[in-house]
Amino acid sequence: MKANPELHPLFFCIYLCIVRSDMKKSSKNRLTLHQQALFPKETLFDKIARAVCRSQTLPRKELYEAWEVAKRIRRHFRGGRIVDLACGHGLVSHILLLLDDTSPNALAVDTHIPENAKTLSQTLIKTWPRLKDRIFFRQMPLEQAELSSRDIVVSVHACGTLTDTVIEKALSARAKLAVLPCCHDLAACDTGGLEGWMDGPLAVDATRAFKLACKGYTVMTKKIPVEITPKNRLLMAYPNDGEST
């Protein structure tokens, strides 16, 4: 059902109520031009949401995931180059720059960059011109990304052992880290022998946190709302020899 601007105001309000009632944050339905009216406020989130709607590139779930992860990262980590590994469309990179303009730029890396990632980026840059020439997409293996200790390494739902690759990259550079793991491969991921006390995916993430602590990192465990995704554990860490902000 498409919104008709010629509808009587009462009917249009009823239409919005019906659509809003089906606005599950976990929905994998792609946002389109017709959903812009569902984000009417002048908050940064609603402005980003309208831009994502105009780009017609992402499901609703990815919008909410990226926003919830990015705002939690910025509560603790300021400045620094953003390195978004397994970046997908790169929405997290854009939001992190919008939330803190002191980051110079963002490097978005994936083995396959979706064709419409450029469309999303151009739409966001058109809305916020200050993002121009600050987002760099690179299609290559994650292992080839060159990092420094000044970077903030992020990854949203890098599947299985890919999250471990991201963690290893951050550790090798002594960089700040924020990962939202998913698709835990219990046959390949290290459970630390904890699966007798807790479910397998939690054992994997607990072992990851312990590994970071053993490597001299301060660990912060967060969650994003479960109504967006049940894979909602956000693991953040920074080296003890550095600053969290």
Q: Is the pLDDT of residue 243 over 80?
A: no
DSSP state of 214: H
Element (H, E) at 155: strand 152-159
Percentage with pLDDT > 90 across the chain? 86
**Over the stretch 123-179, which tens digit does the pLDDT of each residue have?**
999 999 999 999 999 999 999 999 999 999 999 988 999 999 999 999 999 999 999
Place of tokens 């976990």: 26
Q: How far is CA 221 from the centre of its chain?
A: 16
Question: What pLDDT score was predicted for residue 241?
Answer: 80
- Tell me phi and psi for residue 34, to 5 degrees: -75, -15
- Which residues, including other chains, have CB under 8 Å from residue 233's CB and lie 6 or more apart? 180, 181, 202, 205, 221, 222, 223
Element (H, E) at 136: strand 135-139
**Over the stretch 182-225, which tens digit does the pLDDT of each residue have?**
989 999 999 999 999 999 999 999 999 999 999 999 999 999 99
Question: What pLDDT score was predicted for residue 138?
Answer: 98
Q: What's the predicted TM-score (pTM) here?
A: 0.89
